[in-house]
Amino acid sequence: MKRKNPTEPPAKDQKTLASWRLLFESEPYKQDLDTRPGEGEYVFGFEIEWDDLEDFGDLQLELSENFEATLEIGNQVMKEQYANRKMSTRPVIRVINLPNNRSYEVSDLRMRDRSRFLAFDAIVTSTSPVIGWLKTSAYQCNDCGSKWSVNERLARPREKVKYCRTCLDVILEDMSKKKPKTYHKDPDDVSLLVEDCYYEDIQYLDIISPLMLESGMTDPSERIQVVVFDEYVGQFSKGDCLTLNAVVAVDPLINRDFIRDTRRMVFLKTHSIEEGFSNHEEIEHELQSESSFSE
């Protein structure tokens, strides 16, 4: 039961890390970074062309198969790039210009599309207030003093933290000895460090596709909910025509008694947003007017 050294990521992650590093050290990205984009801002979306990923290891494939984990490694490398340039901005990778084979129609979304990274032409029909959520919670062991953090999931209760891993390892090591101690205190005296918890702003948008608008599918029950993060929060309003590059997710908070069809359980976790549609002509202005959306 020996724990792997937590500072030593698995070999696959190291390969991904190296690929991202090569990308940021290549032109034109190195040159972009040298212009210090987003300086003075709290968070900055750094755009990367999907096609450019092709030249760096298996980044395209890995983003397709394991989007969130691959992106997280990339964001770590970006942070390092900003830190090297002595910038305090928190950069986030925004992959844009997805290929045509990733374009998807909003009204075709189903449960089976879960976790796919796709591009959607979308019209914003309503926006929620800005909401803060607990993204990372921080803990400290009252026995040994070690600190650690836990990544929380959106719209889920806080993960239950039951014990201190460091103290547990000490106990396990002792138990494997020839003469283990006869008594071990349970390693469960841990506290939440409120000051070190990390909150993030999000916003929900309701969207429909241009195709849905054309065919009169504007009923509120037909709309798909989209969650936007960081620099996109508060940026969009009703009637905006966008290309959303997003991961398909399933709503964990749905009240099962009220499900009318499977689409209501699906929502989109936005990764990046481009202005304008990618696969439809822009909609006539009159169709975007207030009257086409009933609240």
Least distance CB 259 / Zn ion (angstroms): 44
What does the alpha-carbon distance between residue 46 and residue 98 come to, in Å, rounded to a whole number?
A: 15
Q: Do 210 and 255 contact (CB within 8 A), yes or no?
A: no
Residue whose CB is less far from Zn ion, 153 or 162: 162
Per CB under 5 A, 168 contacts Zn ion = no
Interface mask (CB under 5 A) for Zn ion, residues 116-145, using x and -? Answer: -------------------------x-xx-
User: Whole-number minimum distance, CB 190 to Zn ion, in Å?
Assistant: 7
Q: How far is the CB of 235 from Zn ion (least distance, A)?
A: 43
Q: Alpha helix locations (H) across the chain?
A: 11-24, 29-34, 59-65, 67-84, 165-175, 210-214
Beta pairing, strands 266-275 & 241-250: antiparallel
Place of tokens 């987003």: 38
State the sign of the Cα–Cα–Cα–Cα dihedral 132, 134, 135, 138: positive
d(CA 219, CA 228): 22
CB 206 within 8 A of CB 225: yes
Q: How many residues interact with Zn ion (rule CB under 5 A)?
A: 6
Pick between residue 156 and residue 185 the one whose CB is nearest to Zn ion. 185
Q: Which is nearer to Zn ion, 126 or 149 (CB)?
A: 149
> Residue 261 gets which letter from DSSP?
S
Nearest residue (CB) to Zn ion, 144 versus 254: 144
Tell me how far, at minimum, the Cβ of 160 lies from Zn ion, in Å.
17
* Closer to Zn ion by Cβ: residue 122 or 167: 167
Residue 23: Cβ-neighbour burial (10 angstroms; 0-12, 13-18, 19+): buried
Please, which residue, 36 or 165, has the CB nearer to Zn ion?
A: 165
CA distances from 277 to 105, 119, 124, 242, 268 (A): 12, 10, 12, 5, 17
Q: State which of positions 97-116 bind Zn ion (CB under 5 A).
A: none
Tell the smallest beta-carbon distance from residue 163 to Zn ion (Å). 8
Comparing CB distances to Zn ion, the nearer of 133 and 163 is 163
Using the rule CB under 5 A, which residue among 97, 115, 166, 292 binds Zn ion?
Answer: 166
> What is the DSSP track for 208-248?
E-HHHHHTT--SGGG-EEEEEEGGGTT---TT-EEEEEEEE
Contacts (CB under 5 A) with Zn ion, residues 146-165: 164
CB of 161 to Zn ion, least distance (A): 12
**Options 59, 167, 228, 268; binder of Zn ion; rule CB under 5 A:** 167
Point out which residues bind Zn ion (CB under 5 A): 141, 143-144, 164, 166-167
